[in-house]
Amino acid sequence: MFSVTVRDHMMVAHSFHGEVFGPARRLHGATFVVDATFHRPELDADGIVVDMGRAATELHAVLGAFTYRNLDEEPDFKGVNTSTEFLAKVVADRLAERVRAGGLGEGARGLAKISVTLHESHVAWASYERPL
């Protein structure tokens, strides 16, 4: 199995609800350094998993909907905890939609799965992996 990963980041505000979150129930924020990994069993005709440049462009577009925003005010996230692991899934799902819509090119049709890791600090990160 082959994979290719591109890294970008987003800076957001948010707060959590639920006792488990302690002081993180206050409005605070995070820089998420985001790694998006594209997996496929064989390389395409150009000898690649996916066009890295397009992968980076699509990841940047997905993160553009979050960055410099307060996630508590985003209609998409009404009533949910925008935990690091939850956001990893949202990013992975939105990348999957873009792959299906052709945003990563025809060659990307051969992709088998996507994994996304969000690093919230130098000592904590979360991931989500899904098939395509």
Number of residues that bind a second copy (CB under 8 A): 61
> Which of 61, 96, 112, 126 forms a contact with a second copy (CB under 8 A)?
126
| Contact (Cβ atoms closer than 8 angstroms) between residue 104 and residue 59 | no
Distance CA 5, CA 101 (A): 20
- Strand spans (E) along 1-132: 2-14, 28-40, 69-70, 113-121, 124-131
Which amino acid would we find at residue 66? F
Q: Among residues 57, 61, 74, 105, which is the contact residue for a second copy, using CB under 8 A? A: 105
Q: Could you say which of 75, 78, 101, 122 contacts a second copy (CB under 8 A)?
A: 122
β-bridge pairing 124-131 and 69-70: unpaired
> Which residues in the 29-88 window bind a second copy by CB under 8 A?
29-33, 43, 46-49, 51-53, 56, 67-70, 80-86, 88
- CA-wise closest residue to 93 among 121, 67, 62: 62
- Answer whether 127's CB lies under 8 Å from 117's CB: yes
**Shortest separation between residue 106's beta carbon and a second copy, angstroms:** 10
Closest distance to a second copy from the beta carbon of 117 (Å): 9
- Choosing from 7, 65, 97, 102, the residue that interacts with a second copy (CB under 8 A) is 7
The binding site for a second copy (CB under 8 A) comprises 1-9, 11-14, 18, 20-24, 26-33, 43, 46-49, 51-53, 56, 67-70, 80-86, 88-89, 105, 107, 120-129
